Amino acid sequence: MPVLRGGDKGNEVLYDSAAVIKWYAERDAEIENEKLRREVEELRQASEADLQPGTIEYERHRLTRAQADAQELKNASETGEVIDTAFATYALSKLTGEVGAIIDSLPLAICRQFPGMEKRYQDFIKMEVSKAFIRAYQISDNIPDMAERYIKDNQRS
């Protein structure tokens, strides 16, 4: 336990409250992780094939694995290794909007850069860029569905 000052035999000890709370929280997390690790290791030693569905051992094994997976996912999320699907959807929608805005301004920029360009070329460029712009916004609208399909198709068996 972190001591701020003191601690000699017979003398008062002063603690930094924030440091002590942090120490206890880290200690509890380490103890919980160690318990889960031990349980998972014990259950791995017992062959999964030996476990019969419906038995207490099977349910304990299933629950412990789920807890271990949840803890690993939580740790990966805290370190930034994985991100929430809602955030990814939000970020991709914003990106699509930015790209769409750039695409939308492209025909005007081309016409300004090349003022002698024939009208038919300008119209063709505007038409093609408009198609790309519409497609970018369609993709933006479909991102939640795409994420849902991806998760469904790639779930663990």
Query: What residues does each domain of the chain span?
Result: 5-79, 85-153
Query: What pairs with residue 5 in β-bridges?
Result: 14
Structure tokens at 105: 């301004």
Task: Give the burial string for 119-132 (b: 16+ CB within 10 Å, else e).
Answer: eeeeeebeeebeee
When pLDDT is cut at 50, 70 and 90, the band that residue 157 belongs to is very low
Instruction: Please report the pLDDT score of residue 48 as a whole number.
Output: 64
Span between the terminal Cα atoms of the chain, in Å: 44
Pair 13, 3: CB distance under 8 Å: yes
Secondary structure of residue 65 in the 3-state scheme: helix
Pair 42, 67: CB distance under 8 Å: no
Between CA 140 and CA 92 the distance in angstroms is 7
Percent of the chain residues topping a pLDDT of 90 = 2
Please compute the mean of the pLDDT values over residues 76-86 and round it to a whole number. 80
pLDDT in tens, 13-47: 787 888 888 888 888 888 888 888 888 777 777 66
Instruction: Please report the pLDDT score of residue 134 as a whole number.
Output: 83
CA count, 13 A, side-chain hemisphere, 10? 0
Rg (CA), the chain: 29
Pick from 143, 139, 131, 142: nearest CA to 106:
131
Structure tokens at 117: 């360009």
Answer yes or no: is pLDDT of 114 > 80: yes
pLDDT in tens, 41-61: 777 776 666 778 888 888 888
Between CA 64 and CA 144 the distance in angstroms is 32
